Amino acid sequence: MRKTAKAMALLTAASMIMTAFTPVYAESTDDTAAVDWEKGDNIKAIKEKGVITVATGTYVPFEYRDDDNNIVGFDIDLAQYIADKLGVDMEVTDMEFQSIVPSIQNGEYDFSIAAMYKTDERCEVVDMSKSYCDSGMILAVKEDSEYADTIKSLADCDGLKVAVKEGATSYNVAQSFLDENPDVSYEIVQYKDTVGCVSDLLAGRVDVVVNDLLNQKILSQEYEGTKIVCDPFTHAENAIAVQKGKDDLLAFINECIDDYYADGTYDALWTKWIDASGDGEEAASAAEDTAE
């Protein structure tokens, strides 16, 4: 997989924040550790058809289409790692973010990976893996706006228009703050993707964007004129989703995530897609060779 020149430039910019942002992981509780996934019906079915199907979205640098219209990114390489571990091909379908969870609920795909935060609400309708990457929410404004030096939190957004990604954690965070703080009132404007949020911010149609730190750092390089005005004010785990009841598949994915940390694949993908130090392609190839 090759990255476009534009993507490489954006990823290089993102590497500037790595010292502060690179996450540190503690081993999370795994309720599937005792599951014998190798004997599971779902694993057997995937092996029999010879392909594992994956639902994803659009969220640079985790998943997006390159100049050749291939779906690439950090998450896509991890999905391929999982497929390789199982010894099957991978088939990826991208879609609007709000369609991903319903597609997993309905059993249309084996799993989804889309830089999706693991939340209590999502865990009520799908099963989610242990974390494969941590993240957090920030606020961004137009660099030359009157709010550039005054907004530090959602409490400072009273009377403003706040852009969020439809159906995503940014919407939940913005709405929850309003619910818990009746003295604050702002208008939430929803977009299908974060590019729309930033584009309308620069056009003056909204005043503030709630977004993931890493995604916003990259978008700020492509769409000059935005400013991040606070440190992350939430902590979240990115996780993989499977249909409820597919315990064998979830157990297998959790085992793959353990291996991906242990065998250097996580470090290689971080370098390849986010750190962009120049050694990522070779490091990723070396790590992928360890997949069984």
Residue 9 has pLDDT above 90, yes or no: no
Are 72 and 32 in contact by the 8 Å Cβ rule? The answer is no
**pTM of the full structure:** 0.70
pLDDT in the model for residue 35: 63
Q: How much is the mean pLDDT over the chain?
A: 84
pLDDT tens track for 61-114 = 899 999 999 999 999 999 999 999 999 999 999 999 999 999 999 999 999 999
Is residue 211 helix, strand or coil? strand
Residue 26 has pLDDT above 50, yes or no: no
pLDDT in the model for residue 61: 86
Are 30 and 254 in contact by the 8 Å Cβ rule? The answer is yes
- Range in 19-33, 76-90, 117-131, 231-245 with the lowest mean pLDDT: 19-33
54 - beta bridge partners? 92, 111
Calculate the dihedral angle through the C-alpha atoms of 154, 156, 161, 165, rounding to the nearest 10 degrees: -20
CA distance 211 to 136: 8
| All domains of the chain in start order, with CATH | 5-135+236-288 (3.40.190.10), 137-228 (3.40.190.10)
CA distance 77 to 85: 12
56 - beta bridge partners? 94
Q: How confident is the model at residue 271 (pLDDT cuts 50, 70, 90)?
A: confident
